[in-house]
Amino acid sequence: MAAEAHSDAVHVINNLKEFNELAAAHKYLILDFTAVWCPPCKIIKPIFERLAREHTPPGGKGPLAFATVDVDEATDVARKFEVSAMPTFIFAVNGEATGVDVLTQAPPLDAPSVLKVDDGSGRLKAIQGANPPALYEAVKQVAKLAKAEGGAGAAEDAGSVEVTAEA
């Protein structure tokens, strides 16, 4: 069974098979690893859903897709991406967490957050914690990549924020 739709623009991934099907259908994936018992996950959920609606073309066609992964339900997917804290946002290209290029200055954060950066490329691979400025910027960058590849419906701008990319 393919990943079901959580909202009009957000898929729900229940297992590795559904992840692989979604990755085969969309080059770029923005994954929200969450848990029902996680208060920060509940806080950032509406922001993630709004970003998904803004950057997903009608019918969900195109190179970009958004999905949530409940770490207690889809343990195999959480293991694949070595998720150990929630919420964690993973930016996948062709099914792998290759990361996105982001800006390098950010306002101070009120909530604890970790930005995981690839040592070799300097690309943002994951955001651990509810960090709306980092999420906005990363989604904006992935949407630009998708739009450049013909992903109709990707919004021009998700808001202007800057992100500190520290490991």
Torsion angle of the four alpha carbons 119, 125, 129, 135, in this order, in degrees rounded to the nearest 10: 120
CB atoms within 10 A of CB 79: 11
* The residue type at 102: V
CA proximity to 101, closest of 145, 131, 64: 145
Three-state SS sequence of 42-97: HHHHHHHHHHHHHHCCHHHCCCEEEEEEECCCCHHHHHHCCCCCCCEEEEEECCEC
Round to whole Å and give the CA distance between 133 and 96: 23
Residues with catalytic roles = 38, 41
